[in-house]
Structure 1
Amino acid sequence: MSLVEERYEKWVHHPNLDPRYKDVLANMSEEEKNDAFYTTIEFGTAGMRGLLGPGTNRINIHTIRKATQGYANYIKKNGEEACKAGVAIGYDNRHMSRELAFDCADLLAKNNIASFVYDSLRPTPMLSFAVRYNHCFGGIMITASHNPKEYNGYKLYDNKGCQLVPALADAVITEVNAIEDELAIDANCTEEQKKLVTVMGDDVDQDYYKHVLSIQLNPDVKKDIKIVFSPEHGTANIPVRDIFKMTGYTCIPVEEQCTPDPDFSCTPTPNPEQPGAYELALKYAKENDADLILVCDPDADRMGVGVKHNGEYVVMTGNQSGSVEIEYICSQLVAQHKMPEHPVMFNTVVTSDLGEKVAADYGVETEKTLTGFKFIGEKVAKYEVTHEKNYVFGYEESYGSLVKPFVRDKDAPQALLILAEACAFYKQQGKDLVDVLEELYQRHGTYEESQVALTLSGEEGAKRIQKILSDLRAEAPKEIAGVKVVKSEDFQTQKIYENGEEKPLEGFTKSNVLKYFLEDGSWVAVRPSGTEPKCKFYYCIKGTDKADAHKKTEMAQKAMSELTGA
């Protein structure tokens, strides 16, 4: 009997199998069976994420219980105080999210570990905040972020409200992997143990709102703008609308997308990186002559922005909106004599060079991290202790940023508020946010940043992704689209190759990422997604103007496609 058949038969005949999965298992095709059982779902750059359904390679009540029991065992090894401090738990609008969240709380209680669970859905940054607010040992967030409706996921946080960095995640994974039978775990705690579960409500929200309001740099700016806002059926609806009401901005909600619908019925996609996320918001914007379109992904850690520019709406990339945030924040800190000593900004190795140049213009150092906001959170925690540098901003190219680190994850409500303020501020000068971006290009050079994600599902897809990376390692490109590769970085082997020499690549955890620097100041990076069955290609292409940068980008994408067979 194959491993897949063995696992399948175990699930089908196990007495503790959740009854809802029986019919699904019975009607699985061989292909579906293989995909559901060929491996066990694993932690990636943003925790554990996968398709909902029965199987060891799926998100379901049994695989979540296995992860939570492993986490509980890890907490207990940290002592009685860790158990008393407990775990904050949040969840989004997805299928099973609330059920899984409260099941986690019960299972922790069965292990005599306290928990603090939100009474209804909340954004991921608010879960990070709740960990800190309640002085918890850690946190759990049930969410699949921006993934399609078929997915759900599980994120773990440390006592700083930061997603677990590799060393801590590895310790938890060791405990999880030691559990042989996920189906044998139940969450049946006693009534006395049930008292360890505290349901959180409005008090935590109000303190979070107070902190968000504190990020304003020009709170008295004339708020002569109209904002169309969509939570994409997710968790941002109430918090963001409350924050805009408190600050006096005119916010026009996309009503059809304000219901917490797990099927995302009124949006083609909940992912701000994809054009479909803006379709209905664009219609609202045109009808209301809005200045700004703001959208959030379902768990409100990422956001997207559209700007009315010369009568048309322009959707910015995460690199572009991040650069505009940096320009506004830094310029105002300098103007108001509030720039701290030894200021530092954090972004990732696949984030555009433009933001770094903007920061440098204001004397702000940039430190780069691997992809995953936990690495930025780790940097924040480090300097919180050493005081060597002072945080100014942190962001990723994938629409995630953090203005102030009272949260230790991407925080869309903060980003939306600072972008609204920037929009209002620059409008008084006769400019919009695209005008600001164009000025940055004039000062620092024109860049076109893009990402191509090759989706390769299942066991064969996983093998193909690994082959793409291994083939590139075996024979690195010497040029891309006719432009010489002058340096390459391999974050897996932790080596830099430049001018025929090999040097160590220091300051990063090992990660399956390759980056190629070109002679004209451009670069290309390749990495497998940590949360989806995708191989991602990142492009930061420098041109003499927008047309030149776009042409070079198309050529680089074509060259990489031919090189990798992608």
Structure 2
Amino acid sequence: MSEASIEQLVQDWLRLDRDPASRKLVEDLWRAGDSKTLERYMRPRLEFGTAGLRGPMRAGWAGLNDLMVVQTCQGMGRYAANVIDNALTRGVVIGHDHRHNSRRWAEMAAESFSKQGYQVFLLRGLSFTPLVPFGVTHLRAAIGCMITASHNPGEDNGIKLYWENAVQIISPHDEGIAAAILQSLEPASWELLPTTPLVDHTSRVHDAYFTGVLPELMRPLGTSRTPLRIVHTSLHGVAEPFMRRAFALLGDSVEVFSVPQQSKPDPDFPTTPFPNPEEKGTLDLAISYADQLGVSCVYANDPDADRFSVAEKVGSEWKILTGNEVGVLLAATILHWHKEERRDISKVYMITTVVSSKMLQFMAEEEGFSYAECLTGFKNIGNLAGELEQAGHTVLFSYEEALGYAVSTHIKDKDGISTALVFAQLMLKAQQGFSLRAQLDALYAKYGYFVSSNGSVRCESASIQHIFAQLRYSGPEEQAVVYNDQALRYPEQLAGLAVTRIIDRTLGYDSAQATAASQLGTQAGQMVQFHASTRQFQIFLTIRASGTEPKVKYYLEGKSAVENKSDLDALVKSVAHEIVSKWLLVV
């Protein structure tokens, strides 16, 4: 489609689109000869991938709109019916968040799947994203569809698609669905709701989650005299009522204060245009409210409540924990629970991604449970967890550094609600004078000290290609290695440290393997990893291109003994400076 002329793209759009508003907009632009705007609206076509579809809400092939939603659901339904046994009778679970058009598109999806013969389970009201994959599992559905753009700005929306294993789709299904979409461009329906009755299992799914899954995550709370006081923000998203229902399980042990300006769903996100807890400043309003109340703890969910963030005040200073810090605290707590119950850990696994902290690996080596890592994205975590469970293992916990955590064996996707419930129980220790910082220090004393420094450089496509070409082909000629007919010349040193291992996830190269082939295969997009070390320090560095923004990101971590903490902090700071000033220099 990208090879077609603008005139052809416009004519194709007007032939297929049935939305009067978007048709009029495109017609007016065409009559006005506004080719610049039409170029932006018409190409490139919004691509379907393993994360589904996400983009700006606007007319044309390059945006998300009624026509693109219908075509996506037609393609997904067509492909799944051909691949999954009894897909039509098993059905599809559909949910939506609060964004502009989310309810409309969920209802259009319901009509599209119903028209194809699917039994449709449309969750009534607003949903937080993890309810859809949980619904797929609980109702034994064939597929799931969630209308959300997660933590994107308010002008965006998206479609997340889940396979029968209740995990977001991976290859080869993403390619298969993308091809099926292009074979299903003619809309077969354009209604908001099916003419046939829907099966409403909303209460059944909610009750199974809140009275089945969450109680399994509860442990004895002890005899605390005063409640743990928490300020919570939904960042204008859907989390508020679900969080309160979850925290009701804690009774009087926890007192929750919602940030008034951010507690109700608002698709315009008036106080936080980038409602991502990872973005600097996103928690400022919640922290300010906590200071007003004299509360020393802030919890945050992103708008669709699949991510979780926490900040703690110790003395007069607020500290927003990194995703890795939250991850290792959760891992240690869940492992402690497992050992307290005298359960066997020989078949227990914990999973994280190649860009997350290595601390979980060292914890596994010390404690005797198994550790596995996978390529980035919770779709890879969830699929690996499923494979391990089929092999007879128990996956106790999984996480990725981007604030995503799976704390229940019933859900293989990240879930900010169940995570908050577990973390609140963890923090009841902090109420007794054992702060999160103190808990982290205790873990560092046992497993080694870890410090991270993540960042990014904004650059266009040509600069991204240049950066990765420099990483692969600018090292000393005498150190060149030939892999798949390429002479690769990676850097030998990183801020004066000898590079001891190189893993090029894009090419599938791993210098530590006898065959030089990475055991995890290749990662879509650009990604190169470096390990460097001295007798005292270990450095782990990942450089990758963002899949959603024009950025190159770096993930840097150092490890040492606790007594070398200050030296490691200084070293990591020095390495981060060299990465930005030399390795990621945009030309």
Please indicate, yes or no, whether the TM-score normalized by the shorter chain is above 0.5.
Answer: yes
Distance of aligned partners of 1:111 and 1:348 in 2 relative to their CA distance in 1, 3 Å threshold: same
One-letter amino acid of the structure 2 residue matched with residue 424 of structure 1: L
Q: How do 1:461-500 residues align onto structure 2 when only pairs under 5 Å count?
A: 461-475=460-474, 476-498=490-512
Question: d(CA) in 2 for partners of 1:125 and 1:401?
Answer: 11
Question: d(CA) in 1 for partners of 2:160 and 2:204?
Answer: 23
Partner of 2:130, secondary structure, is helix
Kindly indicate whether residue 100 of structure 2 is the aligned counterpart of residue 95 of structure 1: yes
Who is 1:447 aligned against?
Answer: 450
Partner of 1:314, secondary structure, is strand
Distance of aligned partners of 1:39 and 1:240 in 2 relative to their CA distance in 1, 3 Å threshold: same
Question: d(CA) in 1 for partners of 2:55 and 2:461?
Answer: 14
Q: How do 1:475-554 residues align onto structure 2 when only pairs under 5 Å count?
A: 475=474, 476-498=490-512, 503-512=516-525, 513-519=527-533, 520-542=537-559, 547-554=566-573
Kindly indicate whether residue 421 of structure 2 is the aligned counterpart of residue 417 of structure 1: yes
One-letter amino acid of the structure 2 residue matched with residue 409 of structure 1: D
Distance of aligned partners of 1:173 and 1:495 in 2 relative to their CA distance in 1, 3 Å threshold: same
Partner of 1:198, secondary structure, is coil
Who is 2:485 aligned against?
Answer: none
Distance of aligned partners of 1:75 and 1:477 in 2 relative to their CA distance in 1, 3 Å threshold: same
Partner of 1:522, secondary structure, is strand
Distance of aligned partners of 1:206 and 1:365 in 2 relative to their CA distance in 1, 3 Å threshold: same
Question: d(CA) in 1 for partners of 2:351 and 2:8?
Answer: 43
Partner of 2:136, secondary structure, is helix
Task: Between 525-534 and 233-242, report the one with greater CA deviation.
Answer: 525-534
Among 269, 274, 289, the residue aligned to 2:274: 269
Partner of 2:281, secondary structure, is helix
Who is 1:563 aligned against?
Answer: 583
Question: d(CA) in 2 for partners of 1:502 and 1:4?
Answer: 47
Kindly indicate whether residue 166 of structure 2 is the aligned counterpart of residue 161 of structure 1: yes
Q: How do 1:278-357 residues align onto structure 2 when only pairs under 5 Å count?
A: 278-357=283-362
Task: Between 84-93 and 436-445, report the one with greater CA deviation.
Answer: 436-445
Distance of aligned partners of 1:552 and 1:18 in 2 relative to their CA distance in 1, 3 Å threshold: farther
Q: How do 1:379-418 residues align onto structure 2 when only pairs under 5 Å count?
A: 379-387=384-392, 389-418=393-422
Q: How many angstroms does 1:131 deviate by?
A: 0.9
Distance of aligned partners of 1:379 and 1:496 in 2 relative to their CA distance in 1, 3 Å threshold: same
Q: How many angstroms does 1:245 deviate by?
A: 2.0
Q: How do 1:161-240 residues align onto structure 2 when only pairs under 5 Å count?
A: 161-179=166-184, 182=185, 184-188=186-190, 194-195=195-196, 197-210=198-211, 211-220=213-222, 222=224, 224-240=227-243
**8 A contact 2:56–2:64 mirrored in 1:** yes
Question: d(CA) in 1 for partners of 2:271 and 2:368?
Answer: 45
Greater relative contact order (Cα < 8 A, sep 6+): 1
Who is 1:144 aligned against?
Answer: 149
Partner of 1:277, secondary structure, is coil
Distance of aligned partners of 1:446 and 1:79 in 2 relative to their CA distance in 1, 3 Å threshold: closer
Kindly indicate whether residue 88 of structure 2 is the aligned counterpart of residue 69 of structure 1: no
Q: How many angstroms does 1:471 deviate by?
A: 4.0
**8 A contact 1:4–1:37 mirrored in 2:** no
Question: d(CA) in 2 for partners of 1:45 and 1:79?
Answer: 18
Partner of 1:517, secondary structure, is strand
Q: How many angstroms does 1:173 deviate by?
A: 2.0
**8 A contact 2:49–2:174 mirrored in 1:** no
Partner of 1:443, secondary structure, is helix
Among 123, 126, 134, the residue aligned to 1:121: 126
Partner of 1:307, secondary structure, is strand
**8 A contact 1:308–1:432 mirrored in 2:** no
One-letter amino acid of the structure 2 residue matched with residue 526 of structure 1: I
Size of the aligned set, in residue pairs, is 555
Question: d(CA) in 2 for partners of 1:259 and 1:189?
Answer: 29
The CA deviation string for residues 516-548 of structure 1, in whole angstroms up to 9 with x for no partner, is 111241111122233344332211133665554
Question: d(CA) in 2 for partners of 1:351 and 1:490?
Answer: 16
The CA deviation string for residues 190-229 of structure 1, in whole angstroms up to 9 with x for no partner, is 99x6325334433321210121121123344636310111
Distance of aligned partners of 1:400 and 1:15 in 2 relative to their CA distance in 1, 3 Å threshold: closer
Partner of 2:502, secondary structure, is strand
The CA deviation string for residues 168-192 of structure 1, in whole angstroms up to 9 with x for no partner, is 222222212334xx4x31524699x
Distance of aligned partners of 1:122 and 1:167 in 2 relative to their CA distance in 1, 3 Å threshold: same
Q: For the pair shown, which has the larger CA radius of gyration, 1 or 2?
A: 2
CA RMSD after TM alignment: 2.6
Question: d(CA) in 1 for partners of 2:166 and 2:555?
Answer: 29
Q: Which runs of 5+ in 1 are unaligned?
A: none
Distance of aligned partners of 1:518 and 1:502 in 2 relative to their CA distance in 1, 3 Å threshold: farther
Q: How many angstroms does 1:16 deviate by?
A: 2.9
Q: Which runs of 5+ in 2 are unaligned?
A: 475-489
Who is 1:10 aligned against?
Answer: 11
The CA deviation string for residues 226-252 of structure 1, in whole angstroms up to 9 with x for no partner, is 011111111211111111123222111
**8 A contact 2:348–2:395 mirrored in 1:** yes
**8 A contact 2:108–2:191 mirrored in 1:** no
Question: d(CA) in 2 for partners of 1:114 and 1:186?
Answer: 17
Question: d(CA) in 2 for partners of 1:311 and 1:61?
Answer: 50
The CA deviation string for residues 424-476 of structure 1, in whole angstroms up to 9 with x for no partner, is 03433x201111112222333332223323345xxxx3444344334433342
Question: d(CA) in 2 for partners of 1:17 and 1:528?
Answer: 37
The CA deviation string for residues 362-415 of structure 1, in whole angstroms up to 9 with x for no partner, is 22221001111111111221122220x221110000010011121120011111
Who is 2:376 aligned against?
Answer: 371
Distance of aligned partners of 1:15 and 1:205 in 2 relative to their CA distance in 1, 3 Å threshold: closer
Identity of aligned residues (%): 27
The CA deviation string for residues 99-128 of structure 1, in whole angstroms up to 9 with x for no partner, is 111111101111111211111111111111
**8 A contact 1:49–1:531 mirrored in 2:** no
Q: How do 1:234-249 residues align onto structure 2 when only pairs under 5 Å count?
A: 234-248=237-251, 249=254
Who is 1:433 aligned against?
Answer: 436
Distance of aligned partners of 1:79 and 1:394 in 2 relative to their CA distance in 1, 3 Å threshold: closer
Q: How many angstroms does 1:63 deviate by?
A: 1.7
Q: How many angstroms does 1:351 deviate by?
A: 0.3
Q: How many angstroms does 1:559 deviate by?
A: 2.3
Distance of aligned partners of 1:364 and 1:59 in 2 relative to their CA distance in 1, 3 Å threshold: same
**8 A contact 1:110–1:190 mirrored in 2:** no
**8 A contact 2:17–2:23 mirrored in 1:** no
**8 A contact 2:145–2:162 mirrored in 1:** yes
Q: How many angstroms does 1:557 deviate by?
A: 3.0
One-letter amino acid of the structure 2 residue matched with residue 489 of structure 1: I
Question: d(CA) in 1 for partners of 2:499 and 2:293?
Answer: 48
Distance of aligned partners of 1:438 and 1:43 in 2 relative to their CA distance in 1, 3 Å threshold: farther
Question: d(CA) in 2 for partners of 1:468 and 1:124?
Answer: 36
Question: d(CA) in 2 for partners of 1:410 and 1:310?
Answer: 32
Q: TM-score, normalised by structure 2?
A: 0.88
Q: How many angstroms does 1:332 deviate by?
A: 2.8
